[in-house]
């Protein structure tokens, strides 16, 4: 029985980092895949711990078949609000794509999600 528990613990420790960004608990991350230029682009967004309860750092990874890149931003936490939001534009040129993602990020319950996504040019709704 002890061997089974030890193997189970090692397995859980091994898959934990694969679920989120390095150094980020998986529960603080979200994953979305959007069709961009006839290929899927996966966006992983992970929230850090609130800085003095006022600002949350967000690390994003954008991946496609041609590569990946990281982007960082922050969300100002509004005391008493059910969610705090930030809007950003991220150019996908590092992936060889001549598009920009216009994203609305929402932070609530220690997690960040992509609430809305538009593909520019054209303002094509993705989410």
> What is the tens place of the pLDDT at every residue in 107-118?
998 899 999 999
Q: What is the pLDDT of residue 51?
A: 77
pLDDT at site 110? 86
pLDDT of 89-100, one tens digit each? 999 999 999 999
Query: What per-residue string of b and e applies to 99-117 under the rule 16 or more CB within 10 Å gives b?
Result: bbbbbebbbeeeebbbbeb
- Predicted confidence at residue 50, as pLDDT, reads 78
pLDDT value, residue 49: 82
The pTM is what?
0.76
Q: Beta partners for 58?
A: 47, 73
If one compares 21 and 62, the residue with the highest pLDDT of the two is 62
For 4, the 3-state DSSP assignment is: helix
pLDDT at 4 over 50: no
Question: Mean pLDDT of all residues in the chain?
Answer: 82
Tally Cβ neighbours within 10 Å of residue 36: 20
Tokens 């003095």 belong to: 52
Residue 27: pLDDT band (50, 70, 90) is low
Residue 90 CA to residue 58 CA, distance in Å, equals: 13
Give the residue-averaged pLDDT of 83-106. 96
Q: Which of 67, 65, 60 is nearest to 90 (CA)?
A: 60
Other CB atoms within a 10 A radius of the CB of residue 26 amount to 14
- What distance in Å separates the CA atoms of residue 104 and residue 21, rounded to the nearest whole number? 20
Q: How confident is the model at residue 125 (pLDDT cuts 50, 70, 90)?
A: very high
Asked if 106 and 78 count as a contact pair (C-beta separation under 8 A), the reply is no
Q: Is the dihedral of CA 16, 20, 22, 24 positive or negative?
A: negative
């Amino acid at each position: 029985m002890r061997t089974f528990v030890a193997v189970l613990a090692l397995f859980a420790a091994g898959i934990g980092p694969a679920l989120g960004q390095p150094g980020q608990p998986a529960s603080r991350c979200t994953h979305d895949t959007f069709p961009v230029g006839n290929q899927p682009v996966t966006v992983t967004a992970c929230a850090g711990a609130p800085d003095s309860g006022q600002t949350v750092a967000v690390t994003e990874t954008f991946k496609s078949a041609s590569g990946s890149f990281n982007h960082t931003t922050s969300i100002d936490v509004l005391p008493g609000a059910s969610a705090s939001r930030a809007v950003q534009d991220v150019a996908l040129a590092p992936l060889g794509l001549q598009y920009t993602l216009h994203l609305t990020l929402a932070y609530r319950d220690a997690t960040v999600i992509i609430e809305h996504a538009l593909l520019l040019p054209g303002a094509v709704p993705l989410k």
